[in-house]
Amino acid sequence: MARLVVVSNRVPQPRQRLPQAGGLAVVLADAVKSGSLWFGWSGKCAPATATAATLQEAGGVTYATIDLGETDHRLFYTGFGNGALWPMLLFRLGLINFRPEEYAGYRAVNRAYARALAPLLQPDDLIWVHDYLLIPLAEELRALGVDNRIGFFLHTPFVPPAILSALPRAAELLGSLCAYDVVGFQTRGYLAAFKDCVTQVLNVEVPNIQSPNGQADETVCFSHGGRRVRAIVDPVGIDADAFSRVAQRAVGSPETRRLAASLDGRALAIGVDRLDYAKGLPNRVEAFGRLFEQHPEHRRQVSFLQVAAPSREDIGDYQSLRRQLDRLVGDVNGRYSDADWTPLRYMTRPLGRRTLAGFYRLARVGVVTPLRDGMNLVAKEFIAAQDPLDPGVLILSRFAGAADDMAGALIVNPFDADEVAEAMHAALSMREEERKARHEALHAQVRRTTANRFCEVFLAQLQRTPRHGGIGHPA
């Protein structure tokens, strides 16, 4: 069995117990099995980027990390990665802040990763690279002579050509993606957008999307730069049964009991997100205000808990989002609070998985309304955490990848505050049979597309790639 080498920008310190708010961290915790090597940034900055990785063993996994130079990190992460590439992938063209020196820094850090990783590789290793910060990694590894099978999974959405081409140098990045053997996307829509970009931006002929009998739902194969690339759909999931068990146990935990007691019989609605402009938090708070305005019967009857973990705090757009939210939450609370009831409870810190699971289970409504989202794991966690005998209702943005196969949720346009407010009203008023029927369908779906299935599908596709890159025909 080939060794698995997982590469992600951030590698947690072994035995790290702190809660990590972020989908990638949650998915990779499931993907990295004993015997694997996990390579990436240590989370520490140094005066200069390290040229060799530091190795640590824990639980059968080898953690190989490098420190990044402060300037390199700023150009790569705060600069191009999250100041230009992320807003483009999340359809926020107005927020793109492109600077050529930051793009050069982004590519330089990918080169540094490749140089530190290459000496650790064995000829049969399967290399699995994660997310938008590492798009050029395979190209850099290939330049060093690495001919292992290398796959890439994009956790964000993928965009149509008109959006992609707004980012300077995006055509070059699209070409870099073609140095991978397998490129994975969360949904069929993103795969179709990728196909359109390859066709229109790279002028490469790509056959139509197929639904093969293999394990991936949909596939396209094409040749570019002397290599064969296979692009697949492989939705990310969670270990639903394990999460359900955690939620069941968490109901009796002191945190969940304190929250339950504080509700004093009122319904709980919950939102859990990284504090990111893609998550639509200001729109959500506005929709809550609209609910109390249009349906005064819900005043004093429901409390909304928004848990928002700070993210990318050194980027200006994230700082202004935080200020905007502080103000909006204050506005709604100022307008509707009573001496003994606050409509919105707003916490800006990460919670542990167990606490989160217990809070989800207590909630009558889960509010997941990103303006765009690759998948959104909170939607799946909320469903897995419910009590099937008395389940809560999920309100889900149609612009989250999760909406593709979670039709049992109340699907909304997050930009339409009135529509979201009506969905909140419908969720709070929904009869038990309907809640149960919706939950049953959603739970079955969440149990089908698990974290394990996500890894198995991707690795099976990577494994069936012919060795030594070049043009060959998929097995």
**Which residue spans within 52-160 are E strands per DSSP?**
54-58, 61-69, 126-130, 149-153
Any contact of residue 427 with ligand ADQ (CB under 6 A)?
no
User: Could you tell me the smallest distance in angstroms from the CB atom of residue 307 to ligand ADQ?
Assistant: 4
Kindly give, in sequence order, each residue whose CB lies less than 8 Å from that of residue 394, ignoring residues fewer than 6 positions away: 365, 366, 368, 379, 382, 383, 406, 408, 409, 410, 438, 442
Contact between 401 and 407 under an 8 Å Cβ cutoff? The reply is no
Residue 142 or 312: which CB sits closer to ligand ADQ?
312
User: Could you tell me the smallest distance in angstroms from the CB atom of residue 311 to ligand ADQ?
Assistant: 8
Beta bridge partners of 415: none
Applying CB under 6 A, the site for ligand ADQ has a residue count of: 25
Any contact of residue 366 with ligand ADQ (CB under 6 A)?
no
DSSP string, 64-75: EEEEEEHHHHII
Catalytic residue (one of 72, 73, 131, 155): 155
Q: Which of 108, 373, 428, 462 binds ligand ADQ (CB under 6 A)?
A: 373
Fill in the per-residue mask, 140 to 169: x = in contact with ligand ADQ (CB under 6 A), - = not in contact: ---------------xx-------------
439 catalytic, yes or no?
no
Backbone angles phi, psi at 160, to 5 degrees: -70, 165
Any contact of residue 136 with ligand ADQ (CB under 6 A)?
no
Site for ligand ADQ in 296-335 (CB under 6 A): 307, 309
Any contact of residue 455 with ligand ADQ (CB under 6 A)?
no
Contact between 178 and 157 under an 8 Å Cβ cutoff? The reply is no
Q: Which of 4, 7, 26, 220 binds ligand ADQ (CB under 6 A)?
A: 26
Residue 76 or 132: which CB sits closer to ligand ADQ?
132
Site for ligand ADQ in 166-185 (CB under 6 A): none
Catalytic residue (one of 73, 373, 439, 443): 373
Contact between 346 and 304 under an 8 Å Cβ cutoff? The reply is no
Residue 404 or 416: which CB sits closer to ligand ADQ?
404
Contact between 401 and 186 under an 8 Å Cβ cutoff? The reply is yes
Contact between 474 and 465 under an 8 Å Cβ cutoff? The reply is yes
Give CA–CA dist 44/49, Å, rounded. 10
155 catalytic, yes or no?
yes
Any contact of residue 274 with ligand ADQ (CB under 6 A)?
yes
Site for ligand ADQ in 201-260 (CB under 6 A): 236
Any contact of residue 357 with ligand ADQ (CB under 6 A)?
no
3 state DSSP class of 340: coil
Sheet with 365-368, strands from edge to edge, namely: 344-347, 302-309, 267-274, 365-368, 393-397, 410-412
Residue 141 or 278: which CB sits closer to ligand ADQ?
278
Beta bridge partners of 341: 338
Q: Which of 273, 280, 449, 451 binds ligand ADQ (CB under 6 A)?
A: 273
Contact between 47 and 70 under an 8 Å Cβ cutoff? The reply is yes
Pick from 78, 72, 64: which is nearest to 46 by CA?
72
Any contact of residue 378 with ligand ADQ (CB under 6 A)?
yes
Any contact of residue 356 with ligand ADQ (CB under 6 A)?
yes
Q: What residue number has its CB nearest to ligand ADQ?
A: 23
Residue 271 or 289: which CB sits closer to ligand ADQ?
271
Catalytic residues, by residue number, are 155, 373
**Contact residues: ligand ADQ, CB under 6 A:** 19, 21-24, 26-27, 155-156, 236, 272-274, 307, 309, 350-351, 356, 373-378, 381
